[in-house]
Amino acid sequence: MKKILVTGGAGFIGANFIHRVTASGRYSVVNLDLLTYAGNSESLIGIDSDWHQLVHGDISDGRLLRQLLEAHEPEAIVHFAAESHVDRSIDDPGSFVRTNVLGTQCLLDAALAYWQAGHPAFRFLHVSTDEVYGDLGPNDPAFTETHPYQPSSPYAASKAAADHLVRAWHRTWGLPVLLTNCSNNYGPRQFPEKLIPLMMINALEAVLERGRIGRTYNVGGKAERSNLEVVHALCDLLDQRRPIEIDRRGLIRFVADRPGHDRRYAIDPARIESELGWQPQVDFEAGLARTVDWYLDNESWWRRIEDGSYRGQRLGLRGDSA
């Protein structure tokens, strides 16, 4: 059994990742999460406590990072922790720079010292986004790993800066890093501010175990859809499962685009397919239906987010583990 340190493991992708890798019996996880608004400890319910330890803390806390690395001696760090909502980044770009850029730098410093202290098999997997590449025109080819960075929003710019720092720590000191840039994700336990509240979990496991050091892997499901197509599909699924007097498509209202809006993203996953043999296991239509079913079956989970009561469980956790 391998031990890994996961940052941001109470968020959407991180929580799904931890459920997956602990259930496999191959990894135990130390999960460092600040439990901000998008971090929900309830998303971790059901994980065996013998395989998972939640630590409430900040990736910018160098002393805490050193303590965790020394105490647990993980074989890898999987770095999910980030501010990640574009609209919030427009309202408050400073918090995105503090977490995504300075927080990543602190984590890299701690990882480098740990690796240099005698852990040659250690790996640092940085989980990023396709938004660092900017947007595409209607007929442009999909993003490859060599596409130039052209971030549009403060969120995308902060993630691009973090990517550059990760590569710099590899180039300057040799820190064994891996990076993933993924398309939009969906599935259970996603914070309800996103368009679709699991597709990259297999990919992250493949990269962590078999990826080439210093390499970036674009993760995509070859299922490009417009926002409107996704909303139409959601309306149709809900009409089938919870019918009301009118078709839900009739409730759609259009709003103005946010500043700096990216019109289109598309990922070319050829590298991860050819080098690591990764393919999505669920097509988009089936995955979306399963996601809708999860939310209908777990209404109490998202109702507690809507009314804010999920945050009450955080009291008294600072600096402690649970």
The full set of domain ranges for the chain reads 2-226+254-314
Tens of pLDDT along 234-263? 889 989 998 888 898 998 888 888 887 888
What pLDDT is recorded for position 314?
44
What pLDDT is recorded for position 193?
57
What pLDDT is recorded for position 191?
66
- Tell me how far apart the alpha carbons of residues 20 and 114 are, in angstroms, rounded to a whole number: 26
What pLDDT is recorded for position 154?
94
Is 299 a known active-site residue?
A: no
**Whole-Å CA distances, 192 to 11, 40, 296, 320:** 12, 12, 13, 27
Is 217 a known active-site residue?
A: no
What pLDDT is recorded for position 195?
58
State the catalytic residue, choosing from 58, 131, 135, 205: 131
What pLDDT is recorded for position 222?
83
What pLDDT is recorded for position 255?
83
State the catalytic residue, choosing from 155, 186, 217, 310: 155
Is 114 a known active-site residue?
A: no
What pLDDT is recorded for position 37?
79
What pLDDT is recorded for position 200?
46
- Tell me how far apart the alpha carbons of residues 208 and 100 are, in angstroms, rounded to a whole number: 21
CB 218, CB 143: distance < 8 Å? yes
What pLDDT is recorded for position 196?
57
State the catalytic residue, choosing from 33, 130, 135, 205: 130
CB 160, CB 149: distance < 8 Å? yes
What pLDDT is recorded for position 188?
74
pLDDT (tens digit, 0 to 9) for every residue of the chain, 322 residues total? 799 999 999 998 899 999 999 998 989 999 999 998 778 898 899 999 999 999 999 999 999 999 999 999 999 999 999 998 888 999 999 999 999 999 999 999 999 999 999 999 999 999 999 999 999 998 999 999 999 999 999 999 999 999 999 999 999 999 999 999 988 877 777 766 555 554 445 566 688 889 999 999 999 888 888 888 988 998 899 899 988 888 989 988 888 888 878 888 888 999 999 999 988 888 889 888 988 898 888 888 878 877 777 776 543 333 333 3
Residues 6 or more apart in contact with residue 302 via CB below 8 angstroms? 192, 197, 295
What pLDDT is recorded for position 274?
95
Homologous superfamily assigned to 2-226+254-314: NAD(P)-binding Rossmann-like Domain (3.40.50.720)
